[in-house]
């Protein structure tokens, strides 16, 4: 009989980077016979709780999917309500994030965003630029395919301008053109509301991310739900294509 591997005495690490597809706001509101936008505003409360919980649990990077490049297909009133919630979140929380050492990054296309929203985003990034304790990455007007296409376009421009040789376009170089340049890839990706798909989220970055799907609707998400996802992650064996499990 084969010997059992010795149980590792080192505690399983907390994921350095967790990415979340915050889904289920509409269904949460529908269950309460309320408009979808009510679900979105309660979703912001869940976001506040989750940012705080991530800090308490020692998760250094948290990325949240707030608005996808495909969410423009929704009724304009709902799109505007989602934009207003980003405005409100920054207006209410930025000072606290600055004080608590949270650096804010916003990934996604700025194309199509109202000028004031682009200004609010730039301001949040600038005011938290020197923070490094915790990182909050907000994916807004974000699509993985769009991000990769924009990176490819900029690489093509640099090649055409003679700044870059085609042979220099490696995986590492490509990553410097992505919106997430300088950020580590997510270790754990959580999607709430029971849907089992990526919906164009972090297509490049999720190459070796562990996936956890939860039936909880986003407005009900809390520290216990985050802890449960981390527990599931800690029971996983990451191999990165190798023959033996790896502890990052």
Q: CB-wise, 13 or 194, nearer to ligand IPE?
A: 194
Kindly state the number of chain residues that form the binding site for ligand IPE, as judged by CB under 6 A.
19
Residue 103, token pair as written in the block: 């650096």
| Closest C-alpha among 44, 64, 43 to residue 54 | 64
Closest approach, Cβ 23 to Mg ion, in A, equals 4
Residue of 23, 93, 146, 179 with catalytic role: 23
Query: Which of these ranges, 49-57, 65-73, 108-116, 166-174, lies near ligand IPE under the rule CB under 6 A?
Result: 65-73
38 in contact with ligand IPE (CB under 6 A): no
- Binding ligand IPE (rule: CB under 6 A), the pick from 15, 18, 25, 189 is 25
Q: CB-wise, 95 or 195, nearer to Mg ion?
A: 195
Closest approach, Cβ 186 to ligand IPE, in A, equals 15
50 in contact with ligand IPE (CB under 6 A): no
Kindly state the number of chain residues that form the binding site for Mg ion, as judged by CB under 5 A.
1
71 in contact with ligand IPE (CB under 6 A): yes
The C-alpha atoms of residue 225 and residue 221 are separated, in whole angstroms, by 6
In the region spanning residues 177 to 206, those forming contacts with ligand IPE, defined by CB under 6 A, are 193, 195, 197, 199
Q: CB-wise, 41 or 71, nearer to ligand IPE?
A: 71
- Binding Mg ion (rule: CB under 5 A), the pick from 18, 19, 20, 23 is 23
Active site residue 132: no
Closest approach, Cβ 142 to ligand IPE, in A, equals 8
| Closest C-alpha among 16, 29, 5, 110 to residue 58 | 16
Q: CB-wise, 80 or 176, nearer to ligand IPE?
A: 80
Active site residue 71: yes
Please calculate the CA angle 96-93-28 and round it to the nearest 5 degrees.
Answer: 135
66 in contact with ligand IPE (CB under 6 A): yes
Note the residues at the interface with Mg ion (CB under 5 A).
23
Catalytic residues: 23, 71
Note the residues at the interface with ligand IPE (CB under 6 A).
21-27, 36, 65-68, 71, 82, 193, 195, 197, 199, 218
């Amino acid at each position: 009989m084969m010997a059992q591997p010795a149980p590792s005495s080192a505690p399983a690490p907390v994921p350095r980077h967790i990415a979340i597809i915050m889904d289920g706001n509409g269904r949460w509101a529908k269950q309460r016979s309320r408009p979808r936008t009510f679900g979105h505003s309660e979703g912001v409360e869940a976001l506040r709780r989750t940012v705080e919980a991530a800090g308490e649990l020692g998760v250094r990077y948290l990325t949240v999917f707030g608005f996808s490049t495909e969410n423009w297909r929704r009724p304009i009133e709902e799109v505007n309500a989602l934009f207003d919630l980003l405005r409100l979140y920054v207006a209410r929380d930025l000072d606290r994030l600055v004080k608590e050492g949270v650096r804010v990054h916003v990934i996604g296309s700025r194309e199509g965003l109202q000028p004031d929203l682009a200004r609010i985003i730039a301001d949040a990034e600038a005011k938290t630029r020197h923070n490094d304790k915790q990182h909050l990455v907000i994916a807004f007007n974000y699509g993985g395919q769009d991000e990769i296409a924009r990176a490819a376009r900029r690489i093509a421009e640099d090649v055409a301008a003679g700044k870059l040789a085609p042979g220099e376009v490696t995986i590492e170089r490509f990553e410097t053109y992505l919106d997430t340049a300088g950020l580590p890839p997510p270790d754990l990706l959580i999607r709430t509301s029971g849907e089992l798909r990526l919906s164009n989220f972090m297509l490049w970055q999720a190459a070796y991310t562990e996936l956890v799907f939860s039936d909880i609707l986003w407005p009900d998400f809390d520290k216990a739900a985050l802890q449960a996802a981390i527990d599931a992650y800690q029971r996983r064996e990451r191999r990165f294509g190798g023959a033996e499990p790896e502890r990052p």
